[in-house]
A and B are shown apart, each in its own frame.
Chain A
Amino acid sequence: MAKEKKGVRLEHISKIYQDPKTGKDFYAVKDTDLVIEPGSFVTLLGPSGCGKTTTLRMIAGFESPDEGEIYLGDEPINALTPDKRDTAMVFQSYALLPHYNVFDNVAYGLKLRKVPKDEIKERVTRILKLVELEGMEGRMTNQLSGGQQQRVALARALVIEPSVLLFDEPLSNLDAKLRVTMRTEIRRIQQEVGITAIYVTHDQSEAMALSDNIIVMSNGVVEQMGTPQEIYYHPKNEFVADFIGEANFLPGDYIGEAGKTIVLRPEAATLADKGGLKCKVVLSCFMGSYQNYHVMVDDHLVKLQEYNPKNKKIYNVGDECCLVFEKENIHLL
């Protein structure tokens, strides 16, 4: 696409809602600054109610920020209605127009933009090819599978060549296997088109697989922004460490770092007969690709996964052994 790529910038954005029960105001999003680089794929990740969808809907224009300004490229867009913003959204429920067929659904945005008929035909055909839905033009949307509907929704958003593509948990209605396929697809298409994409999800593996950058949110605040590696290996706080992947927390005293907390990933430690920290096995369970252990180090529970257990010693419940990990494989908070 010949169009210039645009980034998105949020400056001191807040959104206040009223609690319907107590009538009290609360911040759904609080004083958030974000810079999303042109052409990058950024994920807003967090538990439900963390403000990620509200942030996305403010960028789309469905909600108006109570404080701060949103920029698309260098243009402030606070006062623009969704139809005037150069963004296109892929909805969780796909939101395809049930009274139109696939072609008309994809052509809808182009028709509104008064694009000539031949060009509409050409562009819709090209996009449908990109999302691998050739030959489905005449189908009604309810004759499509969930994955196909998702592709139509994606095609519809892509065809108008927006500056920014927004995704609101688009894969959460699909079954697990299809979710994995579709997320690879989304990433492939985004890279092929080179468009800026903002993606909301509560599924960390989706975020990992898709993003250049992940923004972890909780309670309306950005906890950390960084590449998937940064977030996984260098979480800024316990929330991020715990939310992304699994994490065990141990007092720093065990390695002579009093006052600090050790973040230990389940795959970063092993059990051995000697060396490391004394522990007692309370759960030992064969999971196929790994052996799952729960061990007690004094009164701290540590969960770990010993991969490729076929030729390793298996410890049983009640066994006394040692928890071993390398210093460079842990993170200190």
Chain B
Amino acid sequence: MTMKETGVSRRKFLQFSGMGSAALQLPVGLNILTLSESLAAASDNGFAVSTAAYGDWRDIYLERWRWDKVVKSSHFVNCWYQAHCAWNVYVKDGLVWREEQVGTYEATNPDVPDANPRGCQKGACYSEKMYDPSRLKYPLKRVGERGSGRWQRISWDQALAEIAESYVDIMVNEGTDRNILELGPLFTMGTMAVGTGQLSALTDATTLDMNTEIGDGHRGALETFGKIVFERSADDYFHSDLIFIWGGNPVYTQIPNIHFMLEAKYNGATIVVIAPDYSASAIKGDIFARINPGSDAALALGMAHVIINESLYDEAFLIEQTDMPLLVREDNAQFLRSKDLEDGAIEVKSGAFDEFYVIDQHGELAKVPKTSLALGELKPDMKASRQAQLKNGESVQVHTVFTLLQDKVSQYAPDKASAICGTPANQIIDLARLMASAKSACMTTTSNIGKYYHGNLMERAQALVFALCGQYGKKGSGFVAFPFLNLEGASNVVMSSMDPTGQLRKQMAEGAKQLAAAGYTKEMIAYEMTRIQDESGTATQVHGSMFWYTHGGLLETNEKMHEWDPHLNRPVKEVFEQSLKEGWQHVAPKPGDDPRLMISIGSNPLRRIRSYPQLLKHLWPKLRTIVDLDSRLTSTGMMSDYVLPVSAWYERDEVKWVTPLMPYMHGGEKATTYYESKSDWEIMSRLVEAIEKEAKSKGYATFKDRAGRERPFEGIYAVMSGFGKYAHDGDAQLAADIIAHSDNLDGDWEDIKKKGFIPFNGTGDGALSIGTQTEFKKGETITPLTNHVIKKVPYPTLTRRMQFYIDQELYLEFGEQLPTHKDSPKIGGDYPLQITGGHARWSIHSAWRDSRLMLRQQRGEPLIHMNIDDAKKRGIKDGDQVRVFNDMDDFQIMAKVSPAVKPDQTIIYHAWENFQFKDGRGFQNLMPAPLNPVELAGGQFHLRPTNIMASPGHFDRDTRVEVEPVS
């Protein structure tokens, strides 16, 4: 209903009220409705006489609320779990005045709560942030030393011409792979993705995939499920009767979703919070289980001990869905494979065609089917063992994975597990029994576990207890890993520009057909396509972690790792080199080929990378040109040569990926403009044009790409523009086409402009979304992995099952065949306090970290949270400035002292900018970014690197420090 309203003065309003006084006699609750209806009627009858503003004091308030127009938008930042929320942007006098949530999501069905209104405090004040003093207005060029803070305003033409000059020179004279595009948390997968994707494709520049580097690699999920992406819709929590918040802090990180969990609690669910500190999420639990940081595997294995010993496990589930019945050779700790027993078994390096064995109901060896989880007549015995005769005549003892697991968990009786993890033994027993008796137990996603050095083991052990109890595939059940739900349109738009004849797409379709014929599922094919490209050495996308270790000096910080990690029997560097030599991991440019130019696109590596001073020392001198694209000046922008002002989120026509937690694609229409800022698309588009122009002026006709092909400069801008379809300011057309080219969306760009969001109708077949493996049915909440659990579609692992046993050689070398507990290594030296962290309540990565309004609700500067006793022992009071140090470095920060922090733990929340610390010395300076050697593995089917997974992570949660007062 749209009504004409007026800025009625109080006096006029009273007249209306008088007219509506009869309505006020009506039963309460109805009167205001009647009142506003009367008002509407009055308006329609021409009563709505416009009055001058400021009739009296009440009008001053009314004026603050009034607006000229409303535009739909969102915040195109990586809020991850919380993404995304539809906002009305209220524009007044050509500026964004304020914002308020749209609030028009419909409930999935009447039996679950709706998702309204979504949003958070950061989104609710972006209109303030976008006009604050950090905002960039013009392109800037450094005129002093890097980091001197001396800038000169230049024109866009000059900025792009100078960057293009450097860019082309590098392409032609040193190698295309030395131009680096650094992509960060402002990546949208929309128009921005088309811009950066085509810049990279057209000029063969290296792009960095930062997912594993930031610690979001979910290595344990990869090892177990062969993938990391699977998540539920937030309203699916409502079907759970047991919710584990284990490692995460959704009260901080899932602000718009958390109501579903708390409403599930009112619906009868028990919330278990497992955390070292009594976190903001812990206070919402029914059960708070304290745990020593980094010891979650011991707790999980303690639970597994109880579940197995008390025979609470779901044997049928384990036999059908997991590797528990598969046989492992006693002599070499490898799975028993077809090639061990048969001549002529198909053998490829990845083991893709290996077949695996169980002991059947007759006590005989039998192959398990690989193209379905359904076992048919086969009834494997997961507790048997026997001899197997190899094809060379030798006889070896074989055991089931379950038997090996029983041996493993026997070391974790509750009292023993308790001694490691600090959770009381009786509580471990209670948690195990709760999990086993729950109708539907679920996990809430976390990006915390993966930031521990042994996070992979912790995550495998967590996935294990859910599997033991068969807690997958039912509504409201399941361990989950990495939430991602992407629109595939951007890559399709890039494809139609890059491959106008369709030749490439035909080849890809042919390749996919062959893989399907070889028994690959759609999901496996999606991952395999990237792996094949990675292994060919021609991929432009490289895992950021491998890049920083190779070119950023981070391997140097690992030289002391063998002192810190007692399990490490040889230098990490040696494993690193082995991995590159074996082709397990890949890097570009190759070692020795120094990177020369870096464009940081909405990224902030100097804020983000643990041990960032190494980058300044090693990488920065190699880079001739450093360009930062952002709407504000970041830690990285301050150390760049050029800073290019990017439009704020309300100033763009854009669409963005989300997660299954909120399965609606969100987008927004350009509401206003600001000085000379431009969208990422426009900047990329103009840069490609400038590159072509520069090459022409220098007389370069072609460049050689990393595959050795000569490619012409001429025409690259024509391709960039989709042969004239997308002008520099063609964002809206591009956004519309991206939606049109996405087959998993219901709706179009016009719907986005009208409503702000459109629903996803499925995951699509893209590698970033397909892992959730479930159908999105209208009227039903989303539960992940039902394709595996219900439809018996194989998992994309080596064994095609949920796999708890890994026999890759590094896993055998480091004793990680099965989930196990390893003590958190003393990273940074033998100091008594551990720095943990977490995503913040008050920022999304470093966005909003320097917001005035946010800082005023904190303490205006970074904080280290400490336990009262730890502080007292050191003579530290709440609010004191302290020095934090270890073998690596030191920094200064304010202490916040509280009983909510566990003794020996300290917490520094995510993403303070380096410039928020004294002398610009950011807190990650003493975090060495250690490499866990098993993460350098590869070769085996599902351990090979691909998009966003299976490459090493950087860890910070194991960092040890001492803290002293600053005198």
**Do A and B come together as binding partners?**
no
